[in-house]
């Protein structure tokens, strides 16, 4: 019997790092090592020292090796999928000059608005990058750094995204991929390269940026001797270019290369995200027209407030996260970190419709409803931007693939079913970002297509739930409050 080969897929997210040890032949998940991150900041600031990610990667790999019992010599490849948009600035020795500005840091909202205007408005940006600058985007954060910490900006010798930083630590090579690069707003999805005019607008020297690989599955390099000693892995194993977390989840789901919009996905995590694979480049101010890890496209819309915000409401009420009931007349928009979709970076949470008989369980239910309506409205915008009518019965009947931590929660799943009226599919694997990264690692080691690899792997049975009658009353009530909140001149919260 030939020796078993194992690949490692790394999910470096906002809150933690996971290292999934995967049987390269079958896709069997052998172990998942975990290590938490520390996020700091207040008043819109969200930061993490990139060295925390490197230490967490070391700890997660060590935990995975121990849990799986896999001999280190069986590992043949590794790839990192990371949280998108974060700004990492390094000195000439590759050391962070300051903590990374994370995707959910909203301080750069004024810079985002100014950049949008400087190029001539949203349409000019979507024509080039597929996306409009908001506070989440890396370009907005770089502009904030230039204006607020000019000495740090001047001292910057290299700029990386979170997954790029870790890939460079593994290989010594500065490389990114089209998927994660497309979330910077200085990479053009129209040309497949950094946009010189945008770099000039941002005062950004292109030599500070990593080379863009053809795909996230491209071989970035080999694991260096130093990184191998640190991680306890063999030197010289394949390291893929890697990608952003959403792009990696799409690979893990087997999405890619589609000529038409393929299988809408709703991810319930710290953020709420909706995306789908497309062979056609989208360009709409209503969504982020990202590239996919396989060289196609991944139209996506993202909300800032999802599971973490609702968990905060549960904690304030002293309730278990599943001790909930429909909100009744109460509407709670849990925009605790501002909001990205709709673009309300200075928003706060909003509660209305409170009555004497409103229960704590209903308030928690209202928080779920506010988060879910927000992300489902983003899904409608995504469908419209891709030429599909959300009200078309055929389109409305398409199942939603539900992923992320919230997909494992009864209250989240049932709220999505009730407010969408759609069938729901919960994939058998709960570690899709790490699984997608593992497929990228196997592709880098073998030259195979990563989507085909993930599709062929047996990763567990999906849970399929039928549709229920849509709760249009709650949908319309929450939507009405949300629309008013998005109009500050009419008394909203922005």
Residues identified as active-site: 245
Contact 440, 457 (CB under 8 A): no
DSSP string covering 354-375: --TT--HHHHHHHHHHHHHHHH
Between the alpha carbon of residue 371 and those of residues 44, 153, 384, the distances in Å are 19, 36, 20
Closest CA to 263 of 174, 151, 388: 388
Tokens of 78: 């590794």
Tokens of 404: 């992320």
Contact 325, 415 (CB under 8 A): no
Between the alpha carbon of residue 450 and those of residues 104, 176, 177, 294, 414, the distances in Å are 29, 17, 14, 8, 32
Torsion angle, alpha carbons of 276, 396, 267, 194, to 10: 30
Give strand pairing partners of 299.
289
Distance from the first to the final alpha carbon of the chain:
63
Count Cα neighbours of 155 within 13 Å in the Cβ-side half-sphere. Answer: 14
Count Cα neighbours of 247 within 13 Å in the Cβ-side half-sphere. Answer: 37
Burial letters for 192-228: b for 16+ Cβ neighbours within 10 Å, e otherwise? eebbeebbeebebeeebbbebbebbbbbbbbbbeebb
Give alpha helix (H) positions in 297-405: 307-317, 360-385, 393-396
Specify the length of the chain in residues. Answer: 494
Residues ≥6 apart with Cβ < 8 Å to 203: 146
For residue 36, whether the previous peptide bond is cis, meaning omega lies within 30 degrees of 0, is no
């Amino acid at each position: 019997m030939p020796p078993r080969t194992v690949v490692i897929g790394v999910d470096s997210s906002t809150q933690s790092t996971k290292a999934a040890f995967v049987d390269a032949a079958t896709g069997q998940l052998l172990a998942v090592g975990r290590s938490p991150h520390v996020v700091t900041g207040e008043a819109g600031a969200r930061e993490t020292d990139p060295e925390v990610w490197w230490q967490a990667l070391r700890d997660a790999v060590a935990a995975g090796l121990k849990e799986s019992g896999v001999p280190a010599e069986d590992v043949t490849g590794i790839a990192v999928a990371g949280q998108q948009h974060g700004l990492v600035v390094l000195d000439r020795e590759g050391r962070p000059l300051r903590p990374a500005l994370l995707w959910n840091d909203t301080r750069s909202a004024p810079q985002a608005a100014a950049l949008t205007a400087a190029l001539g408005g949203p349409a000019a940006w979507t024509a080039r990058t597929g996306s409009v600058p908001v506070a989440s985007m890396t370009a907005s954060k770089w502009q904030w750094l230039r204006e607020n910490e000019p000495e740090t900006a001047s001292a910057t010798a290299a700029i990386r995204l979170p997954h790029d930083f870790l890939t460079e630590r593994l290989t010594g090579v500065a490389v990114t991929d089209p998927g994660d690069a497309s979330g910077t707003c200085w990479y053009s999805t129209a040309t497949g390269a950094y946009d010189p005019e945008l770099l000039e607008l941002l005062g950004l020297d292109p030599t500070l940026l990593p080379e863009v690989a053809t795909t996230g599955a491209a071989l970035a390099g080999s694991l260096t001797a130093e990184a191998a000693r640190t991680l306890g892995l063999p030197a010289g194993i394949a390291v893929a270019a890697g990608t952003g977390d959403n792009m990696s989840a799409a690979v893990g789901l087997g999405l890619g290369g589609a000529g038409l919009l393929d299988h809408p996905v709703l991810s319930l995590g710290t953020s709420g995200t909706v995306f789908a694979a497309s062979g056609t480049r989208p360009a709409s101010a209503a969504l982020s027209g990202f590239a996919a890890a396989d060289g196609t496209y991944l139209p996506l819309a993202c909300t800032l407030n999802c599971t973490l915000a609702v968990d905060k409401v549960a904690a304030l009420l002293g309730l278990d996260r599943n001790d909930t009931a429909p909100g009744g007349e109460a509407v709670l928009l849990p925009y605790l970190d501002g909001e990205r979709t709709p673009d309300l970076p200075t928003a706060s949470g909003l509660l209305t419709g409170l009555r004497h008989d409103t229960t704590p369980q209903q308030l928690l239910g209202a928080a779920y409803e506010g988060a879910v309506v927000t992300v489902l409205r983003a899904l409608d915008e995504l469908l419209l931007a891709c030429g599909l009518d959300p009200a078309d019965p055929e389109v409305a009947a398409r199942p939603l693939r539900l992923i992320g931590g919230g997909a494992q929660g009864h209250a989240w799943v049932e709220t999505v079913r009730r407010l969408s009226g759609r069938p729901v599919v919960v994939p058998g694997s709960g570690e899709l970002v790490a699984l997608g990264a593992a497929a990228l690692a196997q592709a880098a080691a073998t030259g195979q297509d990563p989507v085909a690899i993930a599709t062929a792997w047996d990763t567990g049975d999906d849970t399929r739930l039928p549709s229920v009658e849509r709760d249009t009353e709650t949908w319309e009530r929450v939507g009405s409050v949300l629309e008013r909140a998005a109009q500050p001149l009419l008394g909203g919260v922005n």
